[in-house]
Structures are given as C-alpha cells and as structure tokens.
Amino acid sequence: MTGQRTYYAPGRVNLIGEHTDYSGGFVLPCAIDRGITLCGSSAERISLRSDRGGERVVLTADGQGETDNWGRYAAAVAQELALAGRPPVGLEGWLRSDLPDGIGLSSSAALEVCLALALCDVAEFALPTIDLALLCQRAEWRAVGVPCGVMDQAAIVLGRRQHALFLDCASLSYEHVELPAELAIAIVGSGERRELASSGYADRRREVECGLAGDMDDTTSRRLRHVESENRRVLDTVAALRAGRNDLLGDLFLQSHRSLRDDFEVTTQRLDLLVSLSYEDGAVAARMTGAGFGGAIVALVPNDDARRFVGSVLHRFADRSGDSKPLRWDVVQAGDGACRLS
C-alpha cells in the first residue's frame, strides 16, 4: 500500500446485558458517534503518536519492543495479527480521539480495532469481521491480563447507525435492533475511576464459572441468578424495542441495575444515586453500564431534553453527595462500526 489512509473505530456503550458475555449470554450494546481515528501509511516498523500525549510508540512490524501505557495495546494487536499470519508490514501514523475519558466507552477496544484495521490494510491481509473482533479480544487479554468477553470489540466492528447490536455471545450470531429516533443516550460518569485489572472483575467471572460448573454456595447462586435474569431482560428489551414499547424500558433497566447491585454486587453508592436521580429527572430508562466498581450510568432520554436532563442530574448529584467536583458526561447516538474512511 502506498499513500496515507484513514481508519476509524467508535466507542461503545452497553444498553443492557451486563456480565453476561463471558458466560455465553445475551448483550445489547451499540457503537456510538464518538471514536478513534488513525491516519497512517505503510512503513518498515510500527511508529505511532497520539493526540492524548505521551511518547511515540515504536515497535517492530510484528509488535516486538518495549512499551507501556496505550502502547501495550498496539503491541498486543500486532502480536496477535502476527500469530494469525499477517505479513510483517509496519505502520506510521497519528491517532486522535473524541472519546471522553473516564466514563466507560471502551476506548481500549476502539484502539485495538482501529489499529487492527489499519495493520491488516497496509499488509493486504483480510480477516472476517467477527474474527477481527475475537482477535482484538485476545489482544486485550494479552495487553492487560483481563479475561474480558467479546462484547466490546463485537459492538465496535458490527455497529450500525441508530441501531443496537443484539449479540448471542455463545454462537456469535447477531441482529441489529432499531433504537427509537426520539431518544438520545446520556452517559454520566460516577467520578470513580475503575481499572478492570485491579477491580473485582476477574473475581466475578471466576464466581460465575464456578456456579456454571456446579460449585454452588450463596455467593455463586446470587451471581448466576443475576446472569440468568439479565439474559431474560435482554430478550425482553429487544422485544420492547421491536414493538415500539418505550414505556417498558424503564422497569427493565431498573431491574438490571438492582440485580447488579444486590446479586452481582458491582455497583457503588455513587452509581446508585445517579440512577435514582435519573429516574427522578425524567429518564425513560437508566442503569449502571459497564463492569461496575465505578464507571458510569447510561440513560435513555428524549432528544430535546437531554442537555437539561444531564445538567439537572449533575447539579442534584453535587447537592446530594456533597461532592462539587465536576463529573464527566456525554450525550450520544448509536453510530456505525469501524471502517476505513479513505
């Protein structure tokens, strides 16, 4: 390949279906209209800079070299692609992002997918879409040692504008489900920065796997109860969306949040407060989103009321919590998945 090309991968938000992907359950995420763009061209080695600062990442064409921070993801993607048979062609490029930090929009998975697209393209190496998602999932494991499911990467490669992705994580079959045009997606961070590698994420996954293997006690029983009930809620949410029954979404999202709070024990007091305030301020639906232990909530709100909604929630959160530090937030729409732009 000669000349510079541009690649894009969006962030994602999970509407419902939390902690179900790694047990082969159902999820309903969507790609969003924010993401990571890479402008680059083929080279002898991998050489990347980012608008978020830091040192330039320099690696061999197959991902070898000393690096840290976001460079770990670049190395892991290149190494996984090398194992998959990609020819050792380098990439010189510049990354920029309009994904807000700290509110759980899966910037790491977006980075992985964006880099994988570019590295495949410069080497004229093709992978089926779902195989690209699975490869990027393995890269996440390699980079940070977190046994994540495939939901994030699948949503990013398979996203469709104004649709959610109904994904069966066991069979990897999927359908696109149209979202109500009159609703926006508001995401509000709790101000509690979580790191999956140091949180209880791996513990929860292990507890679910123990329960599935028949090693039952009170804890594993509650973990499985969440997973089983959450899978039903995903199916009910898909049915409600297809029927145009927005009025059913609020109870489904609230049940999901309560299950994550009581049975899965991954919410926090700040997340609980944000969800409560969201319903008080007129959200159609709201719940914790992401792995928990901090992170963010997602709320479905009328398009013409989204900014007022967020402003009111933030103001009342400061009053009720006593914390005047500004919380990070964004209002987004479901967007298209990763692609080469030029």
The residues annotated as belonging to the active site are 152
List strand residue ranges (DSSP E) for the chain, in order. Answer: 5-16, 26-43, 46-50, 57-59, 90-97, 163-168, 174-178, 183-189, 285-289, 296-302, 329-332, 339-340
Strands 46-50 and 57-59: antiparallel
What pairs with residue 39 in β-bridges?
A: 6, 94
If we measure between CA atoms, which residue out of 205, 236, 202 comes closest to residue 223? 205
Burial code of 155-164, b = ≥16 C-beta within 10 A, e = fewer?
bbbbbbeebb
Residue 215, both tokens: 């090693």
CA 303/CA 289 separation, integer angstroms = 20
CA atoms within 13 A on the CB side of 140: 24
What pairs with residue 285 in β-bridges?
A: 300
